[in-house]
């Protein structure tokens, strides 16, 4: 049978049949609607590949089946496996571990069909054996047997990989121990020399702390099995703090807290995002990793301001000025983070809000600093006089004009971006409304 050219005719004729078929597979009205729409789109796009060997409805249902399979494959949620054999329990435990789960996926990719598809539909698609049988045009018992054989094949290949992995881990661990022994040589030499000349162990502890810093980046990743670089970062931070403490004690200084706080803050800005994304968090923080990083960095910035004030025995002017200016400087990055992470608007609108906020921050920074510190302001936005232009000799007016220009440009640019975002959203809403009316 030749495929009609009219999309409207095909859509009206076969929509309910295809939709009903998809519903038997996915059991979700919204997902079934989406897959059915995609089916007709694919059919029109690939109409030249239709040879007429089967009926139009059968051809459309075949496309829908493939889309359902693709949809199931994309789902990566860990689900309970049947406890029919010990192999299934082992695989389930492995799927709970990120690294082992990746290994299972690699093994699964190497399986031949239909074992790969059946296992994927059962584990990742959460489909019953009856539904899997329907997808393949087979019986429920066929789906069970195929799934069982797929598990056995995965278990067999996993045992081979596990044996190889253990050998590699042993080699890596041995290299780590040898590296640690090499790093221990200068420490022992320093200890012997200190004891031989009758000096205190000051230099010994400095060398020991220095070698610990090196070991945290070379030895620790070799001897730890999981989350190697997370442990390396933690080990490096702790050993660095120990080195700073030893140097502070050796020099009889009182600067350790300042050095420690500044080091932790500097390392946190670059490394904490990686650590937070690779460690288990409490349930209430799992979807708030970005917020956790921002709060951690903000906390350590205030701690640094505090220990600096304690170190210099600051008076009330320091605390008033430092805390207020720090808070003012933080509102912009916090605003940008909240807009990017939590505002349910499109990219143009987000960009517009950020541009406007950046302009306001820049335009009024001099005024805020002047108000907080009590110092004379050489560039207030309120001193702007656009009739004087940008070439006058009066620096107050010149700086004011520059700040006002930045504010105006940012508001105009941000407003245009927000308008573009609202226009795109309106078009999207109208398009969705038309599709709903058509359905």
Contact 67, 42 (CB under 8 A): yes
User: What per-residue confidence (pLDDT) applies to 79?
Assistant: 36
Helix extents (H) in 96-128: 98-110, 115-123
Angle between helices 316-342 and 347-373 (to 10 degrees): 170
> Quick check: pTM over 0.95?
no
Which residues touch 130 (CB under 8 Å, ≥6 apart)? 140, 143
Q: Which pLDDT value is given to residue 87? A: 39
Give whole-number Cα distances, 117 to 68, 71, 104, 373, in Å: 12, 12, 14, 68
Q: Is the pLDDT of residue 376 over 90?
A: no
Distance of alpha carbon 21 from alpha carbon 225, whole angstroms: 48
Pair 355, 413: CB distance under 8 Å: yes
Tell me the average pLDDT across 404-409.
92
pLDDT at residue 435, as a whole number: 57
**pLDDT, position 167:** 74
pLDDT in tens, 223-258: 888 888 899 999 999 999 999 999 998 888 889 999
CB 109 within 8 A of CB 140: no
- Give residue 85's pLDDT: 38
Q: What is the pLDDT of residue 125?
A: 64
Q: Which is more confident, 415 or 46?
A: 415
Kindly indicate the confidence band of residue 394, based on its pLDDT and cuts at 50, 70 and 90.
confident
Band the pLDDT of 345: cuts 50, 70, 90. confident
Question: Rounded CA gap, 6 and 362, in Å?
Answer: 58
Sign of torsion over alpha carbons 200, 204, 206, 209 = negative
pLDDT of residue 174 exceeding 70, the answer is: yes
Burial call 26-41: b when 16+ CB within 10 Å, e when fewer: beeeeebbebbbbbbe
pLDDT value of position 2: 43
Query: How confident is the model over 265-322, as pLDDT tens digits?
Result: 999 999 999 998 888 888 887 788 889 999 999 999 999 999 999 999 988 999 999 9
Q: Where are the domains of the chain?
A: 1-74, 81-168, 314-439
In the CATH hierarchy, which fold is given to the domain comprising 81-168?
Answer: Arc Repressor Mutant, subunit A (1.10.10)
pLDDT value at residue 8? 67
Average pLDDT across the chain, whole number? 79
Span 111-155, pLDDT tens digits: 777 777 777 777 766 677 877 777 777 788 888 888 888 777 777
Q: What phi and psi values does residue 71 have, to the nearest 5 degrees?
A: -65, -40
The CA radius of gyration of the chain, in Å to the nearest whole number, is: 33
**Sequence-ordered list of residues with C-beta below 8 angstroms from that of 339, at least 6 positions apart, any chain:** 350, 353, 354, 357
- Alpha-carbon span 7 to 148, nearest angstrom: 43
What's the CATH fold of domain 1-74?
Rna Polymerase Sigma Factor; Chain: A (1.10.1740)
407's enclosing H/E stretch is: helix 395-438
Question: By CB neighbour count within 10 A (0-12 exposed, 13-18 middle, 19+ buried), where does 232 fall?
Answer: buried
Q: What is the mean pLDDT of residues 108-112?
A: 71
Distance of CA 57 to the CA centre of its chain: 43
Highest mean pLDDT among 25-29, 51-55, 173-177: 173-177
Cα(15)–Cα(60) distance, integer angstroms: 10
User: Could you report the per-residue pLDDT of 184-215, keeping only the tens digit for each?
Assistant: 888 888 888 877 777 667 778 888 899 999 99
User: What are 432's two structure tokens?
Assistant: 């969705």
3-class secondary-structure state, position 126: coil
Tell me the CB-side half-sphere exposure of residue 374, using CA atoms within 13 A: 5
Is residue 147 a contact partner of residue 135, using CB atoms and an 8 Å limit?
A: no
Q: Evaluate whether 127 touches 140 at the Cβ level (below 8 Å).
A: no
* Cis amide leading into 392 (omega within 30): no
């Amino acid at each position: 049978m030749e495929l009609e050219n009219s999309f409207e005719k095909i859509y009206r004729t076969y929509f309910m049949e295809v939709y009903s078929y998809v519903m038997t597979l996915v059991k979700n009205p919204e997902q079934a609607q989406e897959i059915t729409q995609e089916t007709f789109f694919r059919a029109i796009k690939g109409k030249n590949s239709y040879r007429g060997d089967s009926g139009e409805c059968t051809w459309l249902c075949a496309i829908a089946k493939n889309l359902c399979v693709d949809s199931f494959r994309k789902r990566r949620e860990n689900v309970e496996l049947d406890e029919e054999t010990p192999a299934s329990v082992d695989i389930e435990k492995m799927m709970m571990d990120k690294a082992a789960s990746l290994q299972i996926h690699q093994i699964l990719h190497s399986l031949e069909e239909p074992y790969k598809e059946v296992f994927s539909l059962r584990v990742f698609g959460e489909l019953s054996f009856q539904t899997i049988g329907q997808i393949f045009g087979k019986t429920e018992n066929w789906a069970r047997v195929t799934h069982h054989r797929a598990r056995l094949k995965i278990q067999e290949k996993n045992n081979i990989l596990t044996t190889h992995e253990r050998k590699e881990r042993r080699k890596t661990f041995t290299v780590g121990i040898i590296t640690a022994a090499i790093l221990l040589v200068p420490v022992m030499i320093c200890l012997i020399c200190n004891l031989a000349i009758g000096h205190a162990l000051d230099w010994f502890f400095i060398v020991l702390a220095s070698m610990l810093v090196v070991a945290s980046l070379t030895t620790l990743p070799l001897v730890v099995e999981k989350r190697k670089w997370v442990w390396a970062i933690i080990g490096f931070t702790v050993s660095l703090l120990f080195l700073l403490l030893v140097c502070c004690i050796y020099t009889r200084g009182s600067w350790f807290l300042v050095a420690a706080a500044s080091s932790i803050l500097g390392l946190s800005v670059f490394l904490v995002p990686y650590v937070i994304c690779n460690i288990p968090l409490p349930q209430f923080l799992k979807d708030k990793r970005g917020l956790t990083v921002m709060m951690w960095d903000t906390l350590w910035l205030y701690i640094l301001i505090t220990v600096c004030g304690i170190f210099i025995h600051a008076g009330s002017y320091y605390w008033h000025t430092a805390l207020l200016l720090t808070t003012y400087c933080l509102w912009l990055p916090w605003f940008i983070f909240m807009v990017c992470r939590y505002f349910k608007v499109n990219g143009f609108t987000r960009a517009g809000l950020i541009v406007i906020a950046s302009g306001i921050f820049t335009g009024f920074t001099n005024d805020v600093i002047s108000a907080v510190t009590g110092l004379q302001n050489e560039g207030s936005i309120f001193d702007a006089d656009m009739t004087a232009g940008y070439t006058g000799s009066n620096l107050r007016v010149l700086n004011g004009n520059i700040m006002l220009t930045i504010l105006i440009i940012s508001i105009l640019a941000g407003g245009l971006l927000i308008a573009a975002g609202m226009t795109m959203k309106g078009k999207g809403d109208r398009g969705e409304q038309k599709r709903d009316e058509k359905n």
